[in-house]
């Protein structure tokens, strides 16, 4: 039986320019054959599976139509909620199972990097039909195909890309491709919806390519009154492709200076991906592209990946420059061409892009987590080991890890050395060592000092320490917190206490006893471990289960500073149910905050600097007599002096 080669299309960067050109040649042929009613049997006997975890009209149906038109057949899960995914089956298991039923998998998923995971676990080839806000390479093939048909050559074209450039995955794939073909890009984002940094950094690092960002009004005035204004902004001296690809397959295109705008590529606001802070961007949803019909823009075609919402007027549809329905129609011949090209490629050697450098291996378990909330590693189970490389934006004073799945960067504040078990606040003196530890496989990274200490790491050096709370003061603070929590709860018997492991959990038990003493009701109590791969909530007191639903939860931690730990604990709590209320109690508030979280009950406010460390020491039972409770403040001397070896 015929087989397709295990060739995955996850990013548009997986295709070299000559390969894209070959696909377009095939697409031209299929378009002609479709017009003339000439049937094809190229994919006879092959089955395509379409797995769509997100809604789709064009992409799924045109893939399926294409496969049928090639004489192949299709099995489809158009609504993954009707599949075993709804029972919690992992993506890895799903694609392994489906690989036994099909020769090719087309997958769409709401998480960034999902197609990469599918490609790694499926023995059959996987095509990305959109993964979160990351990429949508086959839409780009349709876009480029139409652009090329309308304009002849992609090289030197000027394309204004408008709308939601932050979450628009079609935009990201299109930008990577236009950069390679030597086109000029003008980004015209809705307010706050700019092209993300990771896309810009990748273009700058790998292709030395930059482009300008303008408002719609600036775009209008540039093209009405002359182009120069657009090119002379000091922050973006030019926006032409300075093409530096090392790939021998791709020649450096000569870019002609733009004289006119060749295309407006308009996109809708990706409402389903907006976080609360992005909501402000709403209301920018309408572009009247007709206003841009000046002498320099009149040749421009208007493109849209569809579906449109209100950003393109229906009156525009009859204008011959409106080509969005042609883009959608191209879905069939272009996707036929892609499958046919894969069949052809089985027979010949294709040059693949260079493999990226190997990921950093971390000695400690669990490996660090990707900070990007919609990364596939955050929603799939622990089978998926996070994978990072050093981010290209890392330098002596800034350390960041780039996720191998979603490609986003996570900034690293604290690093540790896995053999000496010391941790450090990252600064430029450490950058050489960190690189050495990466090579040795001894690098550990932490989100917070707290996490480092929970994992058994000690600060590199400690400065002088002083006691800022003694046992009596700690006891009084706990009593005050318990009294406030009781007074605030509409029904004190609904109180349940959750402490963040480990000192927050110890404090939680004390609060439980105090609340019991004051109300006569012993509130249920649980420990929440947020430092593992999957946060765990464990009942204390020998109870089998701990119920969050409808409870007035008091979430307890010893110290709050950046707020990351508490934020993570809140998220974990909501994964366990729907509390009636959540109040946050901390013994010490250090004042600095990276996320907007304010504790409801604070034992003491102690403004500190980053170089200081607050340590809460709590004894249990008999230990309390030997080592009384105390809160200590000490400075961390963790910056290395020259010639001093950190380990």
Binding site for ligand NCD (CB under 6 A): 58-59, 130, 136, 139, 169-170, 267-268, 305-307
Number of C-beta neighbours around residue 232 at 10 A: 10
- Distance, in Å, from the CA atom of 592 to the CA atom of 560, rounded to the nearest integer, reads 8
Residue 58 C-beta: closest distance to ligand NCD, Å: 5
Smaller CB distance to ligand NCD: residue 23 or 240? 23
Q: Dmax of the chain from CA atoms?
A: 92
Minimum CB–partner distance for residue 335 and ligand NCD (Å): 12
Of 267 and 442, CB closest to ligand NCD:
267
Output the smallest distance, CB 305 to ligand NCD, in A.
4
Shortest approach of ligand NCD to residue 37 CB, angstroms? Answer: 27
Minimum distance from residue 275 beta carbon to ligand NCD (Å): 17
Minimum separation from the CB atom of position 9 to ligand NCD (A): 14
Q: How far is the CB of 94 from ligand NCD (least distance, A)?
A: 20
Q: Measure the CA–CA gap between 303 and 187, rounded to whole angstroms.
A: 14
Q: Based on CB atoms, which residue is closest to ligand NCD, 156 or 163?
A: 163
Identify which of residues 62 and 561 has a Cβ nearer to ligand NCD in the complex: 62
Q: Report helix, strand or coil for 267.
A: coil
Torsion sign (Cα): 44, 47, 53, 55: positive
Contacts of 423 (CB under 8 A, 6+ apart): 414, 415, 416, 417, 444, 446, 449, 452, 453, 457, 458, 459, 460, 638
What tokens appear for 528 in the block? 């929440």
- Write the burial class of residue 40 (CB in 10 Å: 0-12 exposed, 13-18 middle, 19+ buried): middle
CB 343 within 8 A of CB 4: yes
Nearer to ligand NCD, 9 or 508 (CB): 9
- Of residues 477, 492, 487, the one with CA closest to residue 585: 477
Least distance between ligand NCD and beta carbon 351 (Å): 28
Q: Closest separation between CB of residue 309 and ligand NCD, Å?
A: 9
Q: Which residues pair with 538 in a beta bridge?
A: 527
Q: Least distance from C-beta 310 to ligand NCD, angstroms?
A: 13
SS3 track for 592-615 = CCCCCCCCCEEEEECCCCCCEEEE
| Nearer of residues 129 and 496 to ligand NCD, judged by Cβ | 129
Of the two residues 63 and 388, which places its CB atom closer to ligand NCD in the complex? 63
Phi, psi of 281 (to 5 degrees): -70, -15
Please say which residue, 139 or 297, places its beta carbon nearer to ligand NCD: 139
Minimum CB separation of residue 116 from ligand NCD in Å reads 17
Least Cβ distance, residue 356 to ligand NCD (angstroms): 25
Helix, strand, or coil here: 201? helix
What DSSP element (H or E) covers 511? Answer: helix 503-519
Residue number with CB closer to ligand NCD (57 or 624): 57
CA separation (Å) from 582 to 28, 373, 550?
A: 60, 22, 10
Query: 226 with 316: CB under 8 angstroms?
Result: no
Which residues in 207-276 belong to E strands, given as ranges?
Answer: 212-213, 263-266
- Comparison of 170 and 448: residue with beta carbon closer to ligand NCD: 170
Phi-psi region of 123 (alpha: psi -120 to 50; beta: other; left: phi over 0): alpha
Cβ proximity to ligand NCD: between 223 and 265 the closer is 265
SS3 call for 493: helix
CB of 189 vs ligand NCD, minimal distance in Å: 15
Taking CB positions, which residue lies at the least distance from ligand NCD?
Answer: 305
In this structure, are strands 409-411 and 400-403 parallel, antiparallel, or unpaired? Answer: antiparallel
Q: Using the minimum distance from each CB to ligand NCD, give the nearer residue, 52 or 405.
A: 52
303 versus 585: smaller Cβ distance to ligand NCD: 303
Contacts of residues 392-395 at CB distance under 8 Å and 24 or more positions apart, as own/partner, are 392/201, 392/202, 392/205, 393/197, 393/201, 395/431
Tell me whether residue 307 or residue 381 sits nearer to ligand NCD (CB atom).
307
Nearest approach, Cβ of residue 43 and ligand NCD (Å): 22
Strand order across the beta sheet in which 104-109 lies: 73-77, 47-52, 104-109, 126-131
Least Å distance, CB 483 to ligand NCD, is 53
Q: Which is nearer to ligand NCD, 296 or 304 (CB)?
A: 304
With H, G, I as helix, E, B as strand and everything else as coil, classify residue 263. Answer: strand
Cβ 63 to ligand NCD, closest distance in Å?
10
Residue among 268 and 422 whose Cβ is closer to ligand NCD: 268
- Give CA separation, 472 vs 468, 507, 512, 620, in Å: 12, 14, 18, 15
Report DSSP letters for 9-43, one per residue: B-SGGGS-HHHHHHHHHHHHHHHHHHHHT----TT
Element (H, E) at 528: strand 525-529
Q: How far is it, in rounded angstroms, from Cα 552 to Cα 581?
A: 5
């Amino acid at each position: 039986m015929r087989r397709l080669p295990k060739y995955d299309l996850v990013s548009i960067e997986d295709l070299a320019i000559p390969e894209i050109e070959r696909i377009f040649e095939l697409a031209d042929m299929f378009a002609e054959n479709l017009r003339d009613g000439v049937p094809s049997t190229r994919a006879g006997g092959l089955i395509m599976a379409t797995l769509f975890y997100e809604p789709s009209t064009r992409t799924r149906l045109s893939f399926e139509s294409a496969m049928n038109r090639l004489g192949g057949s299709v099995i489809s899960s158009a609504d993954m909620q009707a599949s075993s995914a709804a029972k919690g089956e992992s993506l890895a298991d799903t694609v392994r199972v489906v690989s036994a039923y099909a020769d090719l998998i087309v997958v769409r998923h709401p998480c960034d990097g999902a197609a990469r995971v599918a490609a790694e676990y499926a023995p059959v080839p996987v095509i990305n039909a959109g993964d979160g806000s990351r990429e949508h390479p086959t839409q780009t093939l349709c876009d480029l195909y139409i652009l090329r048909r309308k304009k002849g050559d992609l090289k030197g074209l000027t394309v204004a890309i408008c709308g939601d450039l932050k979450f628009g995955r079609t935009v990201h794939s299109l930008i990577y491709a236009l950069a390679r073909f030597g086109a000029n890009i003008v980004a015209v984002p809705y307010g706050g919806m700019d092209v993300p940094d990771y896309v810009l950094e990748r273009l700058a690092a790998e292709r030395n390519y930059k482009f300008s960002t303008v408002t719609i009004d600036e775009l209008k005035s540039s093209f009405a009154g002359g182009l120069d204004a657009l090119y002379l902004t000091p922050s973006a001296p030019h926006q032409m492709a300075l093409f530096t690809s090392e790939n021998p397959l791709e020649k450096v295109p000569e870019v002609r200076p733009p004289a006119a705008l060749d295309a407006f590529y308009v996109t809708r606001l990706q409402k389903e991906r907006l976080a609360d802070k992005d909501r402000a961007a709403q209301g920018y949803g309408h572009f009247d592209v007709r206003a841009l019909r000046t002498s320099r823009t009149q040749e421009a075609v208007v493109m849209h990946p569809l579906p449109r919402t209100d950003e393109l007027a229906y009156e525009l549809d009859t204008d011959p420059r409106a080509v969005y329905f042609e883009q959608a129609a191209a879905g069939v011949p272009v996707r036929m061409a892609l499958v046919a090209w894969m069949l052809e490629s089985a027979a010949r050697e294709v040059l693949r892009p260079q493999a990226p450098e190997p990921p950093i291996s971390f000695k400690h378990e669990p490996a660090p987590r990707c900070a990007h909330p919609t990364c596939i590693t955050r929603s799939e189970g622990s089978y998926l080991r996070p994978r990072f490389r050093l981010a290209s934006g890392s330098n002596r004073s800034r350390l960041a890890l780039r996720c191998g799945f979603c490609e986003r960067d996570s900034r690293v504040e604290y690093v540790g050395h896995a053999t000496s078990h010391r941790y450090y606040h990252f600064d430029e003196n450490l950058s050489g060592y960190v690189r050495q530890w990466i090579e040795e496989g001894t690098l550990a990274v932490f989100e917070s000092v707290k996490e480092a200490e929970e994992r058994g790491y000690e600060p590199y050096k400690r400065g002088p320490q002083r006691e800022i709370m003694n046992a009596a003061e700690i006891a009084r603070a706990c009593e005050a917190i318990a009294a406030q929590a009781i007074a605030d709860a509409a029904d004190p018997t609904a109180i349940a206490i959750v402490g963040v492991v480990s000192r927050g959990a110890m404090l939680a038990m004390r609060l439980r006893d105090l609340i019991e003493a004051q109300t006569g009701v012993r509130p249920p109590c649980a420990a929440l471990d947020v430092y593992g791969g999957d946060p765990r909530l464990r009942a204390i007191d020998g109870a089998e289960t701990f119920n969050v639903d409808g409870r007035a939860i008091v979430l307890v931690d010893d110290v709050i500073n950046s707020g990351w730990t508490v934020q993570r604990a809140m998220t974990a709590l909501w994964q366990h149910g729907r509390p009636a209320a959540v109040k946050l109690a901390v013994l010490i508030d250090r004042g600095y905050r990276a996320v907007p979280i304010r504790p409801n009950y604070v034992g003491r406010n102690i403004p500190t600097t980053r170089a200081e460390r607050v340590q809460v020491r709590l004894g249990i039972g008999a230990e309390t007599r030997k080592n009384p409770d105390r809160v200590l403040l000490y400075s961390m001397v963790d910056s290395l002096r020259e010639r001093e070896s950190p380990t």
